[in-house]
Amino acid sequence: MTNIFFLFIAVGLFLSYCSSKPTSSLDEAWKLFKNLHNKEYNSINDEQLRRDIWEENVRMIQKHNFESDLGIHTFTMKVNQFADLTNEEFVKQMNQLKINPEKKSNKKFHMPSNINRPKSVDWRTKGYVTPVKNQGQCGSCWAFSTTGTLEGQIAKKTQKLVALSEQQLVDCSTDYGNNGCCGGLMDNSYKYLEDNHGIDTNASYPYEAIDGKCRFNVKTVAADVTSYVDIKAQSEADLQDAIATIGPIAVAMDASHTSFQFYSAGVYSEKDCSSTILDFSLLAVGYGTTIDNQDYYILKNQWSTQWGMEGIEELPNEIIYRIFDNIDVNSIVNLKYFDFISRIIHPENIKSLKLFDDDYTPGQIKSFIKNFQIDKLNRLKYLKLIKINENDLESILKHLINNRLNYLEIEYRQYFTILNQSTILILQNLLAFETLQEVNLDMRSYQYDFVQWPQSNYIQNITLCN
């Protein structure tokens, strides 16, 4: 495979920004940004500076997304929690991978000769990947990719997914070349864990995003590291072999560009990306090829679900489009501002929609139906409906018959009994879409009998639960 792209989270600087009059049309968007990301500033002058930086980033993101619509770029960008930082500030705060060019050579990975590499892999579907985490304002990316590989190996061996302690690595591995929130390296962490004979669970040693005193407790060890190997530098064949046969793999990249800082969705590609100057580590959890024959990796980041595709760079056809040309709908739908936001979002801009009527967001789906012009969701590609009742399900799906969905996920409420005939017909029509590639349905087993599955369909992955 060739031409691989990633799918995908000082006073001197201040003086370079001249205060300018804020753009009045962005006043409400600025207030919304501060509310969504809990932004507070020390002074009026400080807020003015951050507003200037934010506006410049907003304009840059709008320009990029306009060019993306024209086919110039393969990915979109969005305003996220980093939008009031300059790129220099962002890199200094978040990208603290410390590559040691003089480190001793370690054992290299070798692919078993009797195994053929599969065309695609996604370890998330096997339960090897924990939910997206948040490194906060701490340069600890190296710790998260280290624990990510070990979490995958524990799941592979025990069939249990256990979150491990990044904080232990931040606090306890300084004697091995790591420097806490000021940076580190995965190899240093593995060597520490080899000598330490164990890493604690995250539950027993939770993450704090600050440097602290080592509090390792042998009684709460979740796993021991007996050995580790490196993958040959810049060998994508070896990397794919390792992902396919071992599990999630810690990787490094040049993440110093604004395109990565504000990445939203799609196949990430940066013409100025360096293959040798690496400042950030992530977790490679899979790889594959798009329907346009573009090869990609699936990378898990640790900048919370507000970055990228909920922190994981997914397939390019599962795109969350920009709201107001710059605000991410996934950051909005679970918040108290939902009723207000749903009235002012342009539905024709939405490419991904996730609605939940669970205990944390009761009534969200009804509010969406009430406030949105569902018949204008004509660009929707990705639809996820959780804990939905049948009336609400039909109210949404009946407007999507002419859409070109790529992904559909439905989880019914437990009290459902028999599906209405109208709902069955709508569902059958959706399953026959030529564009539909992945389907996840969670309903009672006997309900599947009412659905007449189309003889001709283009679905590549389907999951049925009961």
Residue 119, sorted as left (phi over 0), alpha (psi -120 to 50) or beta, turns out to be: alpha
Which of residues 10 and 292 earns the better pLDDT score? 292
**Residue 360: pLDDT band with limits 50, 70, 90:** low
Mean pLDDT across the chain: 80
- 193 SS3 class: helix
pLDDT in tens, 149-177: 999 999 999 999 999 999 999 999 999 99
Indicate whether 375 pLDDT > 50.
yes
Report angle CA 42, 45, 47 to the nearest 5 degrees: 60
Burial of 414-450, coded b for 16+ CB within 10 Å and e otherwise, reads eeeeebeeebebbbeebbebeebbbbebebeeebeee
Q: What pLDDT is recorded for position 292?
A: 78
Which of 174-178, 331-335, 344-348, 396-400 is least confident? 331-335
Q: 0.85 cut: is pTM over it?
A: no
Q: What pLDDT is recorded for position 464?
A: 76
Which of residues 290 and 62 earns the better pLDDT score? 62
Query: Cβ neighbours of residue 200 under 8 Å, at least 6 residues apart?
Result: 164, 165, 168, 216, 217, 220, 221, 222
**Rounded Cα gap, residues 175 and 464, in angstroms:** 49
**Rounded Cα gap, residues 287 and 294, in angstroms:** 11
Query: Cβ neighbours of residue 59 under 8 Å, at least 6 residues apart?
Result: none
Q: In 313-377, which residue ranges form alpha helices assigned H by DSSP?
A: 338-344, 364-371
Q: What pLDDT is recorded for position 60?
A: 93
pLDDT in tens, 393-430: 888 888 887 677 888 888 876 555 556 778 778 888 88
